[in-house]
């Protein structure tokens, strides 16, 4: 048998992802050793509670609550604890003690990424984070390396497994939002606090990471426009289905021309949007993710697979671990990234897309004309008008008949659409603005 020298690996976190990283690392020790040219020795697993149940049968003696001592002796530190602190301090400690770091922590990277990357650069350490965006799907490495010679124009993706699971269950099975969220949590897809998923904080963190890498700039988390899926009712999903669409939480990152200045900028945003049922993203079911990348020379590329889950996310972590360990054995600069472009991040009002505006209107003559006039007045071109279900609403104590009107627009500037919607809400003929959804994908 070949004798390899050891690379010492400390694991911070033994939960959904950490337990699977440890299991796979121990199960495939020989294979890892031959791939790396050195044995990967798991020196310990730092956890908060030694007695918590685990999803894998792991040697008890590996567990510790003393993360700091574990980090001190490590060549590579894997951080799968989650949260900002103490994860940030532990990663800084690891970097400053000369270790390379592998992390799945998108919340931390989107919030303190600049500080961590600068610290790593100062000491020549590497920070790997393939698991932080779209779980098992290789997307960070393609952006950092494979597409480093191209110019990315646009990224559109489903990057949160929990919300895709919820919306898919509502669409396919007619499940309620709450039931679907409970199952997603049970399956280990959701964050410790599922608000992070439902209110799209998680997707916004991923959009910030993707856009920064794709456009070689820094996109602060605060400048990512964010709308979650709480407002998406069973009725909205059903209406979308009847009209040939599916509702998906999308992350869209693109290069744009600022309509105000004519200068180049970028936009990063996350919102529930309508996608045609013919579009490949409509076929992304359960907790799967998919990321479309449009690049100047490469054209359109699609990355698809499991976006969450213990073993799936562990796969991305272990890929990074092999890269880090090889660098440790052979040396070399590791993965590169550049953030020199310094592009302005444009507000949501600067984007151009299509829209579906659903109105509840009083069923009387002239309604259509007055609604159409507001769109025309604000320079928004209407593509289709559909009259939906009928109902009634109390007006001055009397029941007045109402109808649902769905207006689909051609591509329009968001600021024009917003002005149109404000004006529509003031019309006597309009009982209420039921929903405004963006339509993405050709
Ligand atoms: N679950 C998933 O499908 C995915 C998770 N991630 C990310 O991976 C990371 C871990 O996620 P999960 O495994 O789902 O979380 P989890 O909550 O199941 O596990 C967290 C682990 O870290 C330990 N821990 C937390 N704080 C600690 C502290 N102060 N000291 C010592 N140990 C501590 C806990 O004891 C537990 O073992 C998070 O950053 C998450 O965003 C990324 C992609 C997918
Ligand atoms: N909670 C996240 C886990 C992976 O990043 C998700 O649902 O996608
Ligand atoms: Na990934």
**What ipTM was predicted for this assembly?**
0.99
Q: How far is the CA of 308 from the centre of ligand 3 (A)?
A: 9
Residue 194 CA: which ligand is closest? 2
Number of the ligand 2 atom closest to the C-alpha atom of 190 = 1
- pTM beyond 0.80: the answer is yes
Predicted local confidence at residue 364, as pLDDT: 85
- With a 6 Å cutoff on the Cβ, whether 435 touches ligand 2 is no
Predicted local confidence at residue 395, as pLDDT: 60
- With a 6 Å cutoff on the Cβ, whether 312 touches ligand 2 is no
Angstrom distances, CA of residue 219 to CA of 36, 231, 256, 351? 34, 27, 14, 16
Active site (annotated) includes residue 206: yes
How far apart are alpha carbons 437 and 137 in whole angstroms? 28
- With a 6 Å cutoff on the Cβ, whether 199 touches ligand 2 is no
Predicted local confidence at residue 338, as pLDDT: 74
Predicted local confidence at residue 415, as pLDDT: 98
Q: How far is the CA of 191 from the centre of ligand 2 (A)?
A: 6
- With a 6 Å cutoff on the Cβ, whether 82 touches ligand 1 is yes
Low-confidence ranges of the chain (pLDDT < 50): none
Which of these is catalytic: 60, 106, 169, 206? 206
Q: How far is the CA of 81 from the centre of ligand 1 (A)?
A: 4
63 and 15 Cβ atoms separated by less than 8 Å: no
Predicted local confidence at residue 333, as pLDDT: 73
Report strand pairing: 412-413 vs 398-409: unpaired
Predicted local confidence at residue 49, as pLDDT: 98
Helix or strand (DSSP H, E) at 406: strand 398-409
């Amino acid at each position: 048998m070949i004798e390899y020298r050891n690379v010492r690996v400390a694991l911070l976190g033994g939960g959904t992802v950490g337990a699977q990283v440890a299991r796979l690392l121990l199960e495939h020790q020989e294979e890892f050793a031959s791939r790396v040219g050195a044995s990967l020795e798991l020196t310990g697993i730092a956890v908060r509670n030694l007695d918590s149940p685990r999803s894998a049968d792991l040697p008890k003696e590996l567990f510790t609550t003393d993360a700091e001592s574990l980090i001190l002796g490590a060549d590579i530190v894997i951080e799968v604890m989650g949260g900002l602190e103490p994860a940030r301090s532990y990663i800084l400690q690891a970097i400053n003690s000369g270790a390379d770091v592998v992390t799945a922590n998108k919340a931390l990277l989107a919030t303190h990424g600049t500080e961590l990357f600068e610290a790593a650069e100062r000491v020549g350490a590497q920070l790997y984070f393939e698991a932080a965006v779209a779980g098992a799907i290789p997307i960070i490495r393609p952006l950092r390396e494979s597409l480093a010679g191209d110019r990315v124009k646009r990224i559109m993706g489903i990057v949160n497994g929990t919300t895709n699971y919820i919306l898919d269950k509502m669409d396919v099975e007619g499940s309620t939002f709450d039931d679907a969220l409970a199952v997603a949590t049970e399956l280990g897809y959701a964050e410790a606090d599922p608000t992070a998923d439902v209110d799209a904080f998680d997707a916004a963190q991923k959009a910030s990471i993707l856009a920064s890498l794709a456009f070689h700039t820094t996109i602060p988390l605060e400048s990512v426009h964010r709308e979650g899926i709480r407002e998406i009712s069973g009725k909205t999903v059903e209406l979308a289905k009847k009209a040939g669409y599916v509702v998906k939480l999308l992350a869209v990152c693109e290069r744009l021309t600022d309509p105000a200045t004519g200068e180049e900028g970028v936009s990063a945003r996350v919102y529930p949007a309508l996608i045609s049922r013919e579009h490949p993203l409509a076929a992304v079911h359960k907790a799967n993710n998919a990321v479309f990348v449009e690049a100047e020379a490469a054209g359109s590329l699609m990355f698809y697979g499991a976006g969450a889950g213990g073993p799936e996310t562990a796969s991305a972590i272990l890929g990074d671990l092999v890269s880090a360990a090889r660098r440790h054995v052979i040396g070399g600069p590791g993965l590169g990234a550049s953030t020199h472009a310094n592009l302005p991040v444009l507000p949501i009002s600067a984007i151009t897309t299509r829209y579906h505006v659903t109105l509840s209107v009083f069923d009387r003559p002239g309604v259509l004309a007055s609604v159409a006039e507001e769109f025309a007045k604000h320079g928004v071109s209407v593509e289709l008008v559909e009259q939906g279900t009928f109902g009634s609403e109390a007006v001055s104590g009397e029941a007045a008949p109402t109808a649902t009107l769905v207006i689909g627009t051609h591509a329009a500037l968001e600021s024009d659409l917003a002005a149109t919607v404000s004006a529509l809400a003031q019309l006597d003929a309009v009982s209420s603005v039921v929903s405004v959804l963006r339509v993405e994908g050709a």
